Amino acid sequence: MAQETQEGVTSKKSRLSEWYNEITVKAELADYSAISGCMVIRPYAYAIWQNIQSYFDKRLKEEGHKNAYFPLFIPERFLHKEKEHFEGFNPEVAYIERKDEKEERYALRPTSETIMYDSYSKWIRSWRDLPLLINQWCNIVRWEVKATRLFLRTREFLWQEGHTAHKTKEDADKEIQLILKLYLDLIEGEMAVPVLKGMRPEHDKFPGALYTLAMEALMPDGKALQMGTLHNLGQNFSKPFNIKYRDKNEKEQHVWQTSWGISTRMIGSLIMSHGDDKGLIMPPRIAPIQAVIVPIIFEKEKAKTLKEAGRLNDKLSEKLRVELDDRDGYSAGWKFNEWEMKGVPLRIEIGPKDIKANQVVVVRRDTGEKKTIKVSGQLENHIHEILEDIQKNLFRRAKKKMNDNIVEVKNYEELKKAIKDKKMVKTVWSGDPKAEDKIQNDTAANIRLIPLKGDTPKGQCVVNPKKKAKHIVYISKAY
Amino acid sequence: MAQETQEGVTSKKSRLSEWYNEITVKAELADYSAISGCMVIRPYAYAIWQNIQSYFDKRLKEEGHKNAYFPLFIPERFLHKEKEHFEGFNPEVAYIERKDEKEERYALRPTSETIMYDSYSKWIRSWRDLPLLINQWCNIVRWEVKATRLFLRTREFLWQEGHTAHKTKEDADKEIQLILKLYLDLIEGEMAVPVLKGMRPEHDKFPGALYTLAMEALMPDGKALQMGTLHNLGQNFSKPFNIKYRDKNEKEQHVWQTSWGISTRMIGSLIMSHGDDKGLIMPPRIAPIQAVIVPIIFEKEKAKTLKEAGRLNDKLSEKLRVELDDRDGYSAGWKFNEWEMKGVPLRIEIGPKDIKANQVVVVRRDTGEKKTIKVSGQLENHIHEILEDIQKNLFRRAKKKMNDNIVEVKNYEELKKAIKDKKMVKTVWSGDPKAEDKIQNDTAANIRLIPLKGDTPKGQCVVNPKKKAKHIVYISKAY
């Protein structure tokens, strides 16, 4: 019997950053690669990504979106067509050594607006062709110079990017609201990660956009993690890319566009939002394995125990993502630790005693609660209910943590103290970018979001009391 | 009413190559892009690819394979580790301008053996870690210099690549046989494209492999189209990449490996195998749209007709991929042409007369056969049966065409004539690469496959009658 022991894990509370790196590697979500700044997404994390994809892809299609695939390469001149867009991405763009016949450089896509809209200008002719609702699942290259953080900052990542074209600004605004809803259903509903949503301040919007909406999750260290962004591009791309349609009066109009994306980066929030000192905790709806069956083996009754465990596995597998851990050479305790590290929401133990009593023992990963359940025709429903309860509990817990980590402040001293205390700040701001520069210089935090609706800002700007407050804002450091 | 007419289509029989390019663009499968040598995969073709993915991904997982994602980039020195591998791919490799800290060049993956096996050497420790069964869905870059053919030859394409590690050569051989079966189920069963399968001659195997199996579809012009390949890599990579496991006797052994892939190239075979002068013909099991409902509108009864068509659509959509074409401003005839171009297997017409008679008219895309069917509780089953019959008919038709295009020859003159007549040749060969060089020089054809089993070769080599025949071989030109 090859007994192995798991090493201790760094404390999440005292050293979040080390804990994150350690858990991500130990739970076999990701690994460092031979390419500096790039990661390997291991099967366990890729399964999470596939669950995210299959949920979101279905929702998008129900709303009339279709997938397509555009080239990885973008001619350099395309990037130049929208000035702000080029300046925003230029420092991170990687080019290939091969050039085209005219000696033009090819970039690896940092985002696909320009290569896609070149095609859109050929495909869109009349109002009948609108809206054009296209989505792409692909890899993206942004040559980051800061140090790699698995999932959070890598030179290549996977994402979806939606790119739509509409007849009017209103249609584009509606699309943004629709997709925001789908994103929230995914992130809060399936991943159990609560987010703040709002508008990016003017100076921090997507290069080339009219406006940018963003969703931010708040990590235990008070830093925001961007979960996704949505841009109303207005006609800023349709004009340089010449994307025009003939309206019902046969008049030529430029289209209105949106783009929006979420990426494998979100997996980082899953780890940090839910995990504890024993490892990951996976929300059941997105978990690659929803329940693991661990047979409790006594040598004399081994065959019978394995047979019953196998039957249980067959039964539960019909509707749930279940794994039977019947590996030889590992003790039950060792297996418990391993599946706790991997964050499987529910462990189901079955041993000779349980078989005699026609029962199983279930242990929740989120609370550690242990319970005995009779094996009956209702077992599947029962387990499904527990999983749904875990899902709700994880969201509730994360939401409470988020709210506890947001502090409303009235003056600049309070703001500085709150940021130092690893909190996110809710306050009011004049709208002056210089005020934000000051915050950034003094605290390394910046304005993350302006809430979409809610209270009207009152009083004076938190930075400069001489100026009237114009926006409610959330301020924090960010990943 | 905006009446538009479809332009005529080039004849498939007389000008296959022009027909192919025209149909591929007109049916909106793909488009040329601003990047020379790269294509845009449009939604209709991407939906085919997603159907292929979802079928094959499920089968792979049932057999214990898991997906992962490795970096797009490969350090140049990795490519050098297996000499044949490097020499085979080097002419087509693209590198990026950015270099690492040690000024090493990064290649864009032409295939991922080397970057993946670097990780495998870290992950595999004991016999318990084997078999390691990993698959990757990703984009691939091979800088082709020949002219682009949509789907068939582009500088970037999408594929899956499986990479497995085993304890013994026998285990690796078994894996190859298993995957070959899954591939055949996909290609012949779902895509209705018949293939020849066999071994590549020694001098034409994958760079670095012990042996390579391939599947070849035969196109109407007598040219073979490679549908996928499978390689037993032996220990050729595990030695330079140092992938070792400790066996049950605690002895270190190098693993045995396989790799195998299929790509978006296969979509080219779907087009050429089944299409006709009216456009594509999609096999129902892989078709993005299995049936299209076209309401026959008479202005007076428009509302009622659309309502009934909508009900029919709701009903059929439960189990089939159905689309209702209720677009205004296009005549029924124009719509018929469009859906024929797109190769939708079944058209369902419903007009005022049909509604009165409680029936629909169905028209098969493969035979043009028109039939009236009563609307009843059995309608769905009925339509499902017709679709299955179309599926079988397409395969039967394609298989007959393939067999008719293979000629058995007894001497070199017959061989040359058959290739000139756009046939594939079945004959016998000594195994001497020089004989193949001669065939290649004289006819531009080459040895595609050596069948895995069957008759023993008899007589003398077709090229050099002085030498004894060693292999039965299939010879043709190739895409």
**Mean pLDDT score of chain A:** 95
Residue B247, in any domain of the structure: yes
CA distance A154 to chain B (A): 10
Are residues A330 and A437 located together in one domain of the fold?
A: no
Domain assignment present for residue B238? The answer is yes
Q: What is the mean pLDDT of chain B?
A: 95
Q: Are A106 and A237 in contact (CB under 8 A)?
A: no
Instruction: Please choose, from the candidates A281, A285, A43, A276, the residue with its C-alpha nearest in 3D space to the C-alpha of residue A187.
Output: A285
C-alpha pair distances (Å), A299 with each of A1, A304, A307, A357, A360: 12, 10, 14, 19, 19
Q: Give every CB contact of residue A332 below 8 A, 6+ residues apart in sequence.
A: A294, A295, A296, A297, A349
Where is the domain boundary, A387, A419, A442?
Answer: A387
Q: Cβ of A134 and B75 within 8 Å?
A: no
> What is the pLDDT averaged over residues A161-182?
98
> Do A312 and A228 reside in the same domain of the chain?
no
User: Which residues 392-451 of chain A have a CB within 8 Å of chain B?
Assistant: none
A43, A67, A119: residue with CB nearest B33: A119
User: A67 vs B34: CB contact, 8 Å cut-off?
Assistant: no
Return the residue of A nearest to B141 by Cα.
Answer: A72
| Claim to verify: residue B346 and residue B464 sit in the same structural domain | no
- CA-CA distance, B255 to A133, in Å (whole number)? 47
Mutate to test the interface with A, among B80, B97, B129 (most CBs of A within 10 A): B97
| Terminal alpha carbon distance of chain B | 44
> Do B129 and B75 sit in the same domain of this protein?
yes
B329 part of a folded domain: yes
Judge whether B1 lies within some domain.
no
Which chain A residues have a beta carbon less than 8 Å from that of B126?
2
At residue B3, the pLDDT reads 36
ipTM: 0.96
Specify whether B309 is located in the same domain as B245.
Answer: no
Q: What is the pLDDT of residue A8?
A: 63
Task: Give A 124-183 residues with CB within 8 A of chain B.
Answer: 128, 134, 138-139, 141, 143, 156, 158
This prediction's pTM: 0.96
User: Quick check: is B418 in a domain?
Assistant: yes
Cβ of B97 under 8 Å from any chain A Cβ? yes
Note whether A250 and A302 are same-domain residues: no
pLDDT for A134 beyond 60: yes
Which range is least confidently modeled, A85-89, B380-384, B457-461? A85-89
pLDDT of residue B12: 93
* pLDDT at res. B454: 74
Mean pLDDT over B385-407 rounds to 98
Q: Which ranges of B198-284 would DSSP assign to H, the alpha helix?
A: 266-274
A232 part of a folded domain: yes
Residue A98 near chain B (CB below 8 Å): yes
So what's the pLDDT on residue A1? 34
**B73/A156 CB distance under 8 A:** yes
* Per-residue pLDDT band at B203 (split at 50, 70, 90): confident
Q: What is the domain range of residue B454?
A: 408-478
Residue B162 has a pLDDT of 98
Backbone angles phi, psi at A215, to 5 degrees: -120, 135
- A40 close to B (CB below 8 A): yes
pLDDT above 90 (res B1) = no
- Cβ-defined contact of A71 to B141 (cutoff 8 Å): no
pLDDT at position A10: 86
Compute the average pLDDT of residues B459-477. 96
Domain endpoint, select from A387, A416, A442: A387
Residue B4 reports pLDDT greater than 60: no
Task: For residue A49, give the CATH number of its domain.
Answer: 3.30.930.10
By CB atoms closer than 10 A (0-12, 13-18, 19+), residue B455 is exposed
Domain CATH for B378: 3.40.50.800
B34/A118 Cβ within 8 A: yes
Indicate whether B456 and B359 sit together in one domain: no
Above 60 in pLDDT, residue A176?
A: yes
Confidence band of A101 (pLDDT split at 50, 70, 90): confident
B61, closest residue in chain A (CA to CA):
A47
Residue B328 has pLDDT above 50, yes or no: yes
pLDDT surpassing 80 at residue B124: yes
Predicted confidence at residue A404, as pLDDT, reads 97
Residues B349 and B215 in one domain: no
Whether residue A74 and residue B101 make contact (CB cut-off 8 A), yes or no, is no
Answer whether B40 sits within 8 Å of A71, measured CB to CB: yes
Give B115→chain A minimum CA distance, Å: 8
Find the mean pLDDT for residues A400-419.
97
pLDDT of residue B2: 36
- Cβ of B42 within 8 Å of Cβ of A68? The answer is yes
Q: pLDDT digit string (tens) for B74-112? A: 999 999 998 888 888 889 999 999 887 778 899 999 999
B residues 15-34 lying closer than 8 A (beta carbon) to A: 31, 33-34
CA-closest candidate to residue A102, choices A76, A71, A121: A76
pLDDT of residue A7: 57
**Residue B102 lies inside a defined structural domain of this protein:** yes
Q: Which pLDDT score, from 0 to 100, does residue A5 have?
A: 39
| Contact call for A46 and B36, based on CB within 8 A | no
Alpha-carbon gap: B116 to the closest alpha carbon of chain A (Å): 9
- Find the mean pLDDT for residues A294-323: 96
Q: Residues 47 to 76 of A: which have CB under 8 A from any B CB?
A: 47, 49-50, 66-75
What CA–CA distance (Å, rounded) separates A58 from B8?
37
Between B28 and A458, where is the model more confident?
A: B28
Q: What is the pLDDT of residue B7?
A: 57
Same domain for B206 and B132: yes
Task: Give the model's pLDDT for residue B87.
Answer: 87
- Are B41 and B127 in the same domain? yes
Given A245, A274, A303, which residue is the final one in a domain? A274
- Give the model's pLDDT for residue A352: 97
> What percentage of chain A exceeds 90 in pLDDT?
90
Same domain, B459 and B358: no
Pairing of the two strands B66-67 and B132-141: parallel
- Domains contained in chain B, number: 3
Q: Coil, strand or helix: which one is A353?
A: helix
**Within a domain: residue A323?**
yes
A436-449 pLDDT, tens digit per residue, is 999 999 999 999 99
- Closest by CA to A443, choosing from A459, A465, A427, is A427
Q: What is the DSSP string of B295-340?
A: E---GGGHHHHHHHHHHHHHHHHTTS-EEE---TTS-HHHHHHHHH
Whether A4 has a pLDDT exceeding 90, the answer reads no
CATH number, residue A423: 3.30.110.30
Q: Are residues A269 and A236 in the same domain?
A: yes
Interface check B100 vs A, CB under 8 A:
yes
| Chain B residue numbers touching A131 (CB-CB < 8 A) | none
A64: phi > 0 → left, psi -120 to 50 → alpha, else beta; which? left
The pLDDT value recorded for residue A2 is 36
Inter-chain CB proximity A139 and B143 less than 8 Å: no
Taking an 8 Å cut-off on Cβ atoms, the answer to whether A71 and B118 are in contact is no
Give the best residue of B70, B122, B160 to mutate against chain A (max A CB count within 10 A). Answer: B70
User: Which of B47, B66, B119 lies at the smallest CB-CB distance from A33?
Assistant: B119
Average pLDDT over residues B157-185: 98
Question: Mean pLDDT throughout A4-15?
Answer: 72
SS3 content of chain B, % helix, strand, coil (to 5): 35, 30, 35
